Amino acid sequence: MNFIPTHLSGCFVLEPKVFRDERGYFMESFNETTFNNGVGQKVHFVQDNQSYSSKGVLRGLHYQTGEHAQAKLVRVLQGEVLDVAVDLRPESDTYGESFSILLSAENQKQLFIPRGFAHGFLVTSETAIFFYKCDNFYNAASEGGLIYNDLTLNIDWNFPENELIISEKDVILPTLQNAKKVW
């Protein structure tokens, strides 16, 4: 497994070693020891989540705060998404900056997003199955989010805005400037 640091400290792109032959392929998608060595910290995942979405669905930008903050390891099992992480750590040199990457079943890449980040994704294929591990259990009272089109974040979703499918909850999320600061 290759661990490629992004410009956001602690956020890594993971490229697994994929062994292909006439039968298909084999890869190790997660190994706790390899992972912890690769990201340089001990992360113990306790919850797995999976979603199915159609083209144009934008989920995010979500985060958990305080003692319920979550690190995530995300990947796509079917289809393709534009995955986005936003650094919300006030002490970070990259506070308010984002990183985006195309994750797909074909490229098998994964993204590790540490605690203190918002996360979201946009489905760019006809459908997608999105899978992620969390190092902390979900807590509704600690949930927060940022509006996807915050001008300060300036995220290029590279998709026609009038074709986005966004939940009622996500379309009323605050901007970074108006979000609760509870890190």
Catalytic site positions: 62, 132
Instruction: Give just the sign of the alpha carbon dihedral 90, 94, 97, 102.
Output: negative
CA distance 121 to 151: 17
Name the nearest CA neighbour of 125 among 159, 74, 81: 81
**Please, are residues 13 and 111 in contact by the beta-carbon 8 Å criterion?**
yes
CB neighbours of 151 closer than 8 A, spacing ≥ 6?
A: 175
